[in-house]
Structure 1
Amino acid sequence: MRFLMIHKLDESRPEAWNPSPEFQAAMGELMGEYAESGVLLAAEGVTQSKDGAMVRKTDGGGVTVTDGPFTEAREVIGGFALVNVDSREQALELAERFASLFDEVSVEVRRVAEFEDLPQG
């Protein structure tokens, strides 16, 4: 089963976007371990929302584009990891180990919907 682990950071905390060398080393070690064990499919960090944009389509409306930063959001996506594991419990264990590297973070764990999960009609 594939799971997407999305970590969210408080964008107002400068250290969230300027990790220490010690943090980078610890994260590199953990991601290396995940890769060597074969569970890691992909993992990346993303830039701050000030560098991004939001594209939104509303029902009956047009498409709008809003440049960042997104001041209405306290927590923003800081990055993701895509893992392939045997169970939800294993994905949660990986997410807990990942979260333990941060002072403050939330990690959303979502199962990736596979084609066979879709209703067959």
Structure 2
Amino acid sequence: MRFLMMHRLAESAPEVRDPSPEFVEEVGAFVQDWIDRGVLISAEGVHPSERGALVRKAPDGAIAATDGPFTETKEVVGGFLLINAEDRAAAVECARRYADLFGQVEIEVRQVVEFEDLPPAP
């Protein structure tokens, strides 16, 4: 099974914009271990929300794009990992281990929809 782990961080925290060399080294070793063990499929961090945009479609069909930063949220997505795990419990345990790298973080774990999860075509 594949799971998406999105981590949210307080974008105003200094360590988010300027991580220490020790943190970068620790995360690098962690990621390499998961690659070597076949857990990690992909992982990326994202730039601050001030460099992003939010696109919304209203019920009337109108589509609007708003430039960042996204001040209405306290925490923003800082990146994601796509992992292999046996089940939800194993994915949550992976998220716990990943969270241990950070000072304060929130990680959302979601199972990826596989083709066989979809209903058969009529």
* TM-score normalised by L of structure 2: 0.95
Structure 1 stretches lacking a partner, 5+ long: none
- Distance in 2, Cα, partners of 1:38 & 1:45: 20
Q: Which runs of 4+ in 1 moved over 2 A?
A: none
- Distance in 2, Cα, partners of 1:115 & 1:3: 14
- Distance in 2, Cα, partners of 1:114 & 1:58: 28
2:79 is paired with a residue of what secondary structure? strand
Give, in angstroms, the shift of residue 61 of structure 1: 3.5
Give, in angstroms, the shift of residue 51 of structure 1: 0.5
Give, in angstroms, the shift of residue 17 of structure 1: 2.1
* TM-score normalised by L of structure 1: 0.95
Whether 1:71 aligns to 2:74 is no
Aligned residues between the structures: 121
- Distance in 1, Cα, partners of 2:117 & 2:37: 26
Give, in angstroms, the shift of residue 46 of structure 1: 0.3
1:56 is paired with a residue of what secondary structure? strand
RMSD of Structure 2 on Structure 1 (CA): 1.0
Q: Which residue of 1 aligns with 2:15?
A: 15
Structure 2 stretches lacking a partner, 5+ long: none
Q: Which residue of 2 aligns with 1:54?
A: 54
| Identical aligned residues as a percent | 53
Give, in angstroms, the shift of residue 119 of structure 1: 2.2
- Distance in 2, Cα, partners of 1:31 & 1:105: 17
- Distance in 1, Cα, partners of 2:18 & 2:38: 29
Cα deviation code 1:42-96 (max 9, x no counterpart): 0000010000001111111311110000110111000000001211121111111
- Distance in 2, Cα, partners of 1:14 & 1:73: 17
